[in-house]
Amino acid sequence: MLNRPRVIPCLLLMGTGLVKTRRFSEPVYLGDPRNVVKIFNDKEVDELVLLDITATREKRPPRIDLISEIVSECFAPLGYGGGITSVEEVRRLINIGIEKVVINSAAIENPRLVEQSARIVGSQSVVVSIDVRKTRSGSYEVFTHAGKRSTNRDPIHVAKEMERAGAGEILLNSIDLDGMMTGYDLDLIRMVAGEIQVPLVACGGAGRLQDLAFAAQAGASAAAAGSIFVFHGRLRGVLITFPDSEQLDEIFR
**177, 183 Cβ separation under 8 angstroms:** yes
Q: Which residues contact 244 (CB under 8 A, 6 or more apart)?
A: 43, 44
Give the confidence band of 13 by pLDDT, cuts at 50, 70, 90. very high
Q: How far apart are CA 209 and CA 140, in angstroms?
A: 26
Task: Give the three-state DSSP class for 205.
Answer: coil
pLDDT for 56 beyond 70: yes
Q: pLDDT tens for residues 214-237?
A: 999 999 999 999 999 999 877 789
Q: Tens of pLDDT along 72-105?
A: 999 999 999 999 999 999 999 999 999 999 999 9
Average pLDDT of 22-36? 95
Q: Which residues pair with 11 in a beta bridge?
A: 50
144 strand-pairing partners: 149
The band of 160, judged by pLDDT with boundaries at 50, 70 and 90, is: very high
> What's the pTM value of the predicted model, to 2 decimals?
0.96
As annotated, the active-site residues are: 131
CB-based contact 54:17 (threshold 8 Å): no
Confidence of residue 36 (pLDDT cuts 50, 70, 90): very high
Please give the Cα distance from 14 to 50 (Å, whole number): 10
For residues 171, 176, 179, 181, the Cα torsion angle rounded to the nearest 10 degrees is -100
Percent of the chain with pLDDT over 70: 100
Q: What is the pLDDT of residues 107-126, one digit of tens each?
A: 999 999 999 999 999 999 99
Strands (E) across the chain are located at: 6-14, 17-22, 25-31, 48-52, 78-81, 100-103, 126-134, 140-144, 149-150, 169-174, 200-203, 222-225, 231-232, 237-238
What are the C-alpha distances in Å from 38 to residues 4, 44, 137?
24, 10, 44
> Could you give the percent of the chain with pLDDT greater than 90?
95
The answer to whether 85 and 134 have CB atoms below 8 angstroms apart is: no
Query: What is the per-residue pLDDT for 235?
Result: 76
Alpha-carbon distance 93 to 99, whole Å? 8
Fold of 6-251: TIM Barrel (3.20.20)
Give the pLDDT mean for 194-198. Answer: 98
Can you give the pLDDT at residue 234? Answer: 76
Q: Does residue 1 have a pLDDT over 70? A: no
**pLDDT tens per residue, range 129-153:** 999 999 999 999 999 999 999 999 9
Distance CA 2, CA 61 (A): 34
143-170 mean pLDDT: 97
Single out the residue of 76, 81, 32 nearest to residue 55, CA to CA: 81
pLDDT score, position 233: 79
